[in-house]
């Protein structure tokens, strides 16, 4: 027996609201359609280690070995200093988040900004450091947040170990993931926090896990399922409307099932 017309309409509307609309929105996305994205991805390497013997230059032009710097949990932000787009946003959002992380810089954690552009130099790094440390409202010693540069072989060695795929698209332009990599004191990759927004709670929790040395599920991959980011409130909110709609749809399906069963009897 065919279901009544009203039930058909209601069923269609709820399926469209809960399932159809997200797909309709994604079909209209045009950003980056002309960019060759091959090789640009993030292959999470949780539990793996970054090369501790990799040598970079800091913002003062001094050589720094990754292993010598990582003596406590470290946040690594791959960016490049001449980026005209999201890199500045990533750096600014990280600096802002660190203002409210309830841990002590230098004692409980350190930060590394790592340029993926081999054409960046210590002068670029120092200027970026001066600009973004102005956002900090708490004390950060010079050694608490380093801005690194290096040759392409060393950069690739580090990013490949972290599963971070990026590509130069011409000139000083790159396509790359927007992500913060959290390391334990032995260089083990503990967590990835997906940007461009970094929340103090997420960063603090990731650093706590890094202190324990236990890899954990990535923040965005967990939150994207049950939470959505609200730029207006600068926070994640539980998708109550979607969940209620889905629950109502399930309830409607159960009622529809018993209605058909009753009519057959």
Tell me the per-residue pLDDT of 158-185, one tens digit each, with 9 for 90 and over. 999 999 999 888 788 888 889 999 999 9
Residue 202 φ then ψ, to 5°: -60, -45
Domain 55-216 matching CATH 3.30.365.10: the answer reads: no
Going by pLDDT thresholds of 50, 70 and 90, the confidence category of residue 84 is: confident
Q: Which residues of 206-231 are buried (b: 16+ CB within 10 A; e: fewer)?
A: bbbbbbeeebbebbbeebeeeeeeee
Spell out the domain ranges in the chain. 1-15+218-265, 55-216
What would the pLDDT profile of 99-146 be if each residue is shown by its tens digit?
Answer: 999 999 999 999 999 999 999 999 999 999 999 999 999 889 999 999
**pTM score of the predicted model:** 0.71
CA atoms of 102 and 203, how far apart (whole Å)? 10
């Amino acid at each position: 027996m065919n279901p009544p017309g009203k039930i058909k309409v209601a069923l269609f509307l709820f399926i469209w609201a809960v399932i159809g609309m997200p797909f309709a929105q994604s079909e209209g996305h045009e950003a980056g359609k002309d960019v060759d994205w091959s090789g640009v991805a993030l292959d999470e390497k949780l539990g793996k280690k970054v090369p501790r013997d990799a040598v970079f230059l800091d913002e003062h032009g001094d050589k720094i070995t990754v292993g010598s710097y990582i003596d406590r949990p470290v946040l690594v932000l791959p960016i490049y200093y001449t980026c005209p787009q999201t890199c500045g946003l990533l750096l600014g959002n990280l600096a802002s988040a660190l203002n409210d992380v309830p841990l002590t810089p230098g004692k409980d954690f350190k930060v590394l900004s790592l340029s993926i552009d081999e054409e960046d130099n210590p002068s670029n790094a120092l200027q970026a450091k001066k600009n973004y440390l102005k956002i900090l409202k708490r004390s950060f010693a010079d050694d608490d947040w380093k801005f690194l540069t290096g040759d392409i072989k060393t950069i690739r060695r580090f990013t490949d170990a972290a599963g971070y795929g990026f590509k130069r698209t011409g000139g000083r332009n790159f396509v790359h993931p927007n992500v913060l990599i959290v390391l334990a004191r032995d260089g083990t990759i503990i967590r990835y926090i997906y940007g461009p927004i970094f929340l103090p709670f997420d960063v603090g929790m990731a650093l706590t896990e890094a202190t324990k040395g236990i890899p954990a599920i990535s923040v965005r991959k967990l939150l994207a399922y049950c939470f959505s980011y609200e730029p207006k409130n600068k926070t994640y909110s539980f998708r109550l409307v979607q969940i209620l709609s889905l629950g109502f749809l399930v309830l409607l399906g159960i009622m529809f099932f018993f209605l058909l069963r009753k009519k057959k009897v």
